[in-house]
Structure 1
Amino acid sequence: MDARFEQAQADVKTLTSRPSNDDLLTLYALFKQGTAGDASGSKKPGRFDLVGKAKYDAWAKLAGTSAADAKTRYVDKVDGLLGRR
């Protein structure tokens, strides 16, 4: 799975069009959950950091998701964005 996850990280950089903000937040959250675990140990951004707060909140929603599941979902999301499904 780790090899597929690393390949998906490279593949996402080849997208010809920018994904939606929701897709970008999903990718960010799945990546962070897959590599760093739950967001609970990270400092929450201040209320004036809207982008940072949105990213943190998307990541925090995945609390309890295993790293393997997050990586699998990340790969699936990238495949979907690339039209591989």
Structure 2
Amino acid sequence: MKLENLNQAIDLTKKFTQKPSNEELLKLYGLYKQATEGDNVGEKPGGFDFKAAAKYHSWLNLKGKSKSEAEKEYIALVEELSKSYL
């Protein structure tokens, strides 16, 4: 399946019949945030909020990547995941 834009990719993830792994979800989250907001400039979450910390670091690891490159990578990842989760 060839997706043309971020919105199509987001819509396709909502049709997945199984939940992707936590690692895959973190990749999707980081790429989505980088594509839509750019570099992560937020404060690091508190020490015991492990889910928020994982999401924060997933996005932070993409610092410097352009929004358009992050969007392309997000779309490519959704296309790849759709082979397993649709």
**Is TM more than 0.5 here?**
yes
**CA distance in structure 2 between the aligned counterparts of 1:76 and 1:51, rounded to whole angstroms:** 24
Q: TM-score, normalised by structure 2?
A: 0.90
Name the counterpart of 2:78. 78
Q: What root-mean-square deviation, in Å, do the aligned CA atoms of Structure 1 and Structure 2 show?
A: 1.3
- Aligned residue runs from structure 1 range 1-85, under 5 A: 4-39=5-40, 41-83=41-83
Amino acid at match of 1:77: L
Provide the identity percentage.
Answer: 41
Amino acid at match of 1:31: Y
Q: TM-score, normalised by structure 1?
A: 0.91
- Moved beyond 2 Å, runs of 4+: none
Give the paired residue count.
81
Which blocks of at least 5 consecutive residues in structure 2 are unaligned? none
Report the 3-state secondary structure (helix = DSSP H, G, I; strand = E; otherwise coil) of the residue aligned with 2:65. coil
Which blocks of at least 5 consecutive residues in structure 1 are unaligned? none
**CA distance in structure 2 between the aligned counterparts of 1:82 and 1:74, rounded to whole angstroms:** 12
1:6 Cα deviation (Å)? 0.6
1:65 Cα deviation (Å)? 0.3
